[in-house]
Amino acid sequence: MDIHEYQAKELLKKFGVNVPRGGIAYSPEQAVYRAQELSGEKCVVKAQIHSGARGKAGGVRICSTDDEIADAAAWMLGRKLVTHQTGPQGKLVGRLYIEEATDIAQEIYLGFVMDRKEERVVVVASAQGGMEIEDISADEPDSIIRSVVDPAVGMQAFQAREIAFQLGLDAALIPQAVKQITGCYKAMDELDAAMLEINPLVVTGAGEIVALDAKLSFDDNALFRHPDISELRDKSQEDSRETYAEDRGLSYIGLEGEIGCIVNGAGLAMATLDMIKMSGGEPANFLDVGGGASPERVLMSFKAVLNDPNVEAILVNIFAGINRCDWIAEGVVRAVQELKLTMPLVVRLSGTNVEEGRKLLNESGLNITTAETLAEAADKVVAAWKKASTKNAEAI
């Protein structure tokens, strides 16, 4: 789960991380009022969306007057901001963060990520801040600093000092840097965060180290331990298809193809996506219906897949162990009838009660194509999708 910049900064403040003063605004008038509360010569109006590179898309503006603030706020609010991270669909700006302007003398990149290879939290830092870590790695690979944290003892002061010295910070700033780095690690550890990024962490003209931006992502599986963080979720920033499925207990990831997939088991689901591509199609989603799927759960899965307007055909691929093929077949028949499904549908069943399941499908009298193997199912659904797409194009 991701949260907004201003929410991340509020959390980091509790762990001793230095952040600029600021306030949230939902209208141009409120943005002007927040700026007046800060009482500085300049302020920064920041669009709050779950994406980086907001500045390049016009989502971060430095303003000097009330009129400039109001104009910037009016331009951002209600707009879908498109960055290279959001994709062409963009993300809707529903709130702004009005922050005091900072006199920047130096920019640093500081990130904390879970490294699966190391099975540890790894600190990634660079003296070349203010740009994407991928760009830093490509342009200045030697500037990347990596430090692995032992979970048994956590981030130690000497380790934070080593990072600070490698960043080339002035000796007088080392104690501040140690406080910021250890505070970030403590926040990541105690909040069960999966990723923490501060880009840039800046040294000001007055000699302060300040987190000018902040990004926090959390492990969804640990949110039950943090109800206060769960409350920070903004569903308007998430893929509506994935939100719908998650709220109904389905494992779903939206993709960009036209063939919807309903599969049981993550491994089989991945194999199904690969097979569809090998047959010349593009999968529209990953969906694991899970073990012990009831007819009602199968129906919910169909609804989740059909929430994507790009879906033009559906492949159901079930290998029943915990599941039962007759349950799946009953759910498929019910879904076709209740949802009045007309698009191509291919079903491949294997495993427990497979004969009963196939019998239900064959005797339903519905337009359901069956297959015995995954390769056959993928070929059939891609062929049916291409045929239906051609007919639709001719009709237009």
Strands (E), the chain: 22-25, 43-47, 60-63, 80-81, 91-92, 96-100, 104-115, 120-126, 145-149, 193-204, 209-211, 215-218, 251-254, 259-263, 285-288, 313-320, 345-351, 369-371
Q: How are beta strands 313-320 and 345-351 bridged, if at all?
A: parallel
Which three-class secondary structure state does DSSP give residue 234? coil
Is-contact 201 108, C-beta < 8 A? yes
Q: How far is CA 136 from the centre of its chain?
A: 22
Q: How are beta strands 313-320 and 259-263 bridged, if at all?
A: parallel
Amino acid at 57: A
Q: Residue 308's closest CA among 327, 282, 333, 271? A: 282
Residues making up the binding site for substrate: 264
Q: CA 128 to CA 205: how far, in whole Å?
A: 17
Is-contact 220 132, C-beta < 8 A? no
Is the Cα dihedral 185, 187, 193, 199 positive or negative?
Answer: negative
CA atoms within 13 A on the CB side of 295: 14
Token digits of residue 166: 């490698």
User: Residue holding tokens 């840039």?
Assistant: 200
Instruction: Give the active site residues.
Output: 109, 197
Environment class of 342 (CB within 10 Å of its CB; exposed 0-12, middle 13-18, buried 19+): exposed
Q: Which residues 6+ apart lie within 8 Å of 298 measured at CB?
A: 262, 289, 327, 328, 330, 331, 332, 334, 335
Which three-class secondary structure state does DSSP give residue 75? helix
Residues making up the binding site: 46, 99, 102, 107, 199, 213, 264
